[in-house]
């Protein structure tokens, strides 16, 4: 895996069974030394080339299974390992054009040993007043290529 949270490997368009391009995907790694359960994740807003992508158009793939943001919120069983990147699938008719694209995406997660006052104001779309990249508390940006 790469050091950056948003991985360059796996950034590509998605096609349905008929060969129609229905969106794109990218991978993110967990910037934490332990794994977490899906209910701990606080997904943020995705921007691709400045265009805001609503959260309901994104599904997360963990351990080969797809989950919406709503499904993750109440899933206390599935564990995301630090050694396996998650795939984020984005519904976007026609996908992305060939060439470079700017991705901006933040997510954060709760931790059982962090004080509630710190976690109560977690906002995956804003930089934290305390920079803690190991907890995913920052917005990630990459300039990636689709060929």
Q: What is the pLDDT of residues 20-35, one digit of tens each?
A: 999 999 999 998 888 9
pLDDT for res 7: 96
User: Considering the chain, what is the average pLDDT of its residues?
Assistant: 88
pLDDT for res 109: 82
- Give the dihedral sign, CA 32/3/89/63: negative
Beta-sheet strand order (sheet of 65-67)? 6-15, 21-28, 86-91, 58-62, 65-67
Residues in Cβ contact with 12 at an 8 Å cutoff, skipping those fewer than 6 apart: 24, 25, 146
pLDDT for res 32: 82
pLDDT for res 113: 67
pLDDT for res 128: 62
pLDDT for res 20: 97
Give me the residues of the chain with pLDDT under 70, please: 112-122, 125-137
List the chain domain ranges.
Answer: 6-146
* Four-CA torsion 53, 19, 12, 70, nearest 10 degrees: 40
For residue 126, the cross-strand partners are none
**pTM to 2 decimal places:** 0.87
Q: What is the pLDDT of residues 102-124, one digit of tens each?
A: 999 988 887 766 656 666 666 77
Find the radius of gyration of the CA atoms of the chain: 15
- Could you please report the per-residue DSSP string of 106-124? EEEE--TTS-HHHHTT--T
């Amino acid at each position: 895996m790469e050091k950056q949270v948003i991985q360059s490997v796996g950034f590509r368009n998605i096609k349905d069974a008929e060969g129609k391009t229905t969106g794109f995907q990218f991978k993110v790694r967990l910037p934490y030394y332990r794994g977490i359960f899906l209910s701990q994740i606080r997904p943020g807003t995705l921007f691709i080339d400045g265009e805001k992508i609503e959260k309901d158009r994104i599904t997360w793939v963990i351990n080969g299974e797809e989950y919406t943001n709503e499904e993750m919120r109440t899933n206390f069983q599935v564990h995301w390992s630090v050694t396996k990147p998650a795939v984020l699938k984005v519904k976007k008719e026609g996908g992305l054009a060939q060439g470079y694209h700017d991705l901006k995406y933040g997510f954060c997660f709760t931790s059982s040993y962090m004080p509630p006052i710190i976690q109560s104001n977690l906002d995956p779309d804003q930089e934290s007043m305390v920079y803690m990249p190991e907890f995913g508390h920052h917005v990630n940006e990459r300039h990636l290529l689709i060929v």
